[in-house]
Amino acid sequence: MRIAFLAMAGLVMGVVGGATLGIGLGLAWIELFNTSEFEGYAGMLVFFTFMPLGALIGGLGGATLFGMAAFRDHEVAVARQRVPREGVSRM
């Protein structure tokens, strides 16, 4: 359950971060290549091409990374053994 929750959290954070990065890259693309702004072409290019691609890549990457980190932590947690504390009596 914890692995699924962290994968979903990674997905959400990756989508937001990827979309933000996509917008930034789109704006840089427009400035570098002098894209036409006739009838909002530059804005449509950024918000219908770069933002969705960034959100897709960021979401997949975030979910994968968070899921793998949670899965590896789960493997380590299973391998741990409890060490009895000294001086504690059991009744």
**Mind listing the pLDDT tens digit of every residue in the chain (91 residues)?**
888 899 999 999 999 999 999 999 999 999 999 999 999 999 999 999 999 999 999 999 999 999 898 888 756 555 556 666 776 666 5
Whole-angstrom distance, CA of residue 19 vs CA of residue 14 = 8
**Angle at the Cα of 29 (from 18 to 53), degrees rounded to 5?**
30
pLDDT in the model for residue 71 = 82
- Residue 70's pLDDT is 85
CA 15, 16, 18, 24 dihedral sign is: positive
